[in-house]
């Protein structure tokens, strides 16, 4: 079996923050080529040599700024479709906000960056693999010689493009299979697929498959399946969201299934981009007025967006959330879950103090408290 790593070519400015993000484990599975430029002129020279898959820049460059450079790339170099990510300081001036709007850049990330944040942004733009925490039951009917056998298994990293499947029985090496996915409520989706790779696993096998001939309706059903799961917990409904809020997110049919009391669990949402944000806000507006909803286990990405745009919370309130910390001794990023109640009515919330479980050193809060905790004023 031969596995081919996805080749990704990046042009990046010479920044400690950017280069540190590129050492995140997700990048290790790629055939990553990074070309590091010390200036705007260096970026232009590298673009002339070969157009990369994406460009990542700090806002301030020795011979100019990234916004003017991006605008030059769009207007004068004709690179209108090239993804450009710009890293900006925590405090933005009015002039910088205007420059962002006119630059034509695709994403703006504010310092400090959180662990894996850059990878998830690039994954949404370039279609890189991301882990989906939701496992679904699948059946893979396999045509072997003149007989037909059914093998059961589980799928994860599931998307409209394909999945990884773990089977409970050996796999005989067919190149084409048919996957039947349980969508719940007595519904199922049958999808043709080709086997990209396979290997033995315990008494069964693992397969990497690519879906073939996926219709718009099938893609919509798959995206909804891996975006959320609804379950009843005593007197309330619990909705767990399993993937990032990007253009791939789908809340098809969810608003109509909600009862009077609902909790939204957002611990797995590690990235929210502009398209995903619009999809999310539209979903909140579709929720009937009689539904009372709250947010629990809110991820750092969700809290950051909620502080910037209060519409992210709709008419709901936050029960608990994660806060970003860093250990200065271990150089390790750590998230601590906090209850929202102690912050009620506090005008200038201060992050609680924690020590590193590994070395005992006091953790540092990895954001500006006055910026990060803004979403609590919406409770």
pLDDT given at position 12: 97
DSSP character for 327? E
Q: What is the distance between the alpha carbons of residues 17 and 112, in angstroms, rounded to a whole number?
A: 8
CATH superfamily of the 6-126 domain: Response regulator (3.40.50.2300)
Where do the H-state alpha helices sit in the chain? 16-21, 25-28, 40-49, 66-75, 94-103, 117-126, 216-227, 274-286, 300-308, 369-372
All CATH 3.40.50.2300 domain ranges of the chain, comma separated, are 6-126
pLDDT given at position 319: 95
Q: What is the distance between the alpha carbons of residues 195 and 206, in angstroms, rounded to a whole number?
A: 10
The list of the chain residues with pLDDT below 50 reads 1-4, 133, 144-147
pLDDT given at position 185: 58
Reduce the DSSP state of residue 63 to 3 states and report it.
Answer: coil
Q: Report pLDDT digits (tens) over 285-325.
A: 999 999 999 999 999 999 999 988 889 999 999 999 999 99
- Verdict on whether the full-model pTM lies above 0.75: no
CATH of domain 136-214: 2.40.10.220
All CATH 2.40.10.220 domain ranges of the chain, comma separated, are 136-214
pLDDT given at position 186: 66
Q: Dump strand ranges (E) for 173-252.
A: 176-184, 187-201, 204-211, 228-233, 236-241
pLDDT given at position 133: 47
All CATH 3.30.750.24 domain ranges of the chain, comma separated, are 220-378
pLDDT given at position 137: 58
For residue 300, the number of C-alpha atoms closer than 13 Å in the C-beta half-sphere is 19
- The H or E element spanning position 37 is strand 30-37
CATH topology of domain 220-378: Transcription Regulator spoIIAA (3.30.750)
pLDDT given at position 3: 41
pLDDT given at position 154: 79
């Amino acid at each position: 079996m031969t596995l081919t790593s996805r080749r990704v070519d990046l042009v990046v400015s010479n920044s400690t923050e950017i280069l540190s993000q590129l050492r995140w484990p997700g990048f290790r599975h790629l055939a990553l080529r990074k070309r590091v430029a010390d200036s705007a002129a260096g970026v232009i020279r590298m673009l002339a040599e070969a157009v990369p898959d994406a460009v990542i820049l700090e806002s301030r460059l020795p011979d100019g700024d990234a916004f003017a450079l991006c605008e030059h790339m769009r207007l004068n170099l004709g690179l209108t479709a090239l993804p450009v990510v710009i890293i900006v300081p925590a405090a933005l001036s009015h002039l910088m906000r205007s420059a962002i709007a006119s630059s034509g850049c695709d994403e703006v990330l504010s310092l400090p960056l959180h662990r894996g944040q850059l990878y998830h942004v690039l994954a949404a733009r370039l279609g890189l693999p991301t882990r989906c925490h939701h496992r679904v039951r699948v059946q893979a009917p396999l045509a072997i010689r003149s007989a037909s056998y059914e093998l059961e298994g589980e799928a994860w990293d599931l998307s409209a493009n394909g999945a990884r499947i773990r089977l409970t029985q050996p796999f005989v090496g067919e190149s084409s299979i048919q996957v039947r996915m349980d969508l719940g409520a007595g519904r199922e989706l049958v999808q043709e697929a080709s086997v990209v790779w396979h290997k033995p696993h315990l008494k069964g096998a693992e397969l990497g498959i690519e879906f073939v001939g996926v219709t718009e309706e099938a893609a919509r059903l798959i995206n909804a399946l891996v975006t959320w799961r609804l379950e009843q917990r005593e007197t309330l409904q619990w909705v767990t969201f399993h993937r990032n809020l990007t253009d791939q997110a789908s809340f098809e049919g969810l608003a109509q299934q909600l009862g009077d009391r609902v909790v939204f669990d957002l611990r797995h949402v590690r990235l929210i981009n502009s398209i995903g944000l619009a999809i999310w806000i539209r979903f909140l507006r579709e929720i009937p007025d009689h539904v009372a909803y709250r947010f629990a286990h809110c991820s750092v990405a969700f809290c950051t967006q909620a502080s910037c745009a209060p519409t992210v919370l709709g008419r709901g309130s936050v029960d608990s959330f994660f806060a970003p910390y860093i250990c200065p001794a271990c150089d390790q990023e750590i998230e601590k879950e906090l209850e929202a109640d102690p912050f009620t009515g506090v005008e200038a919330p201060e992050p609680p103090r924690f020590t590193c479980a590994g070395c005992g050193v006091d953790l540092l809060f990895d954001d500006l408290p006055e910026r990060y905790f803004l979403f609590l004023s919406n409770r």
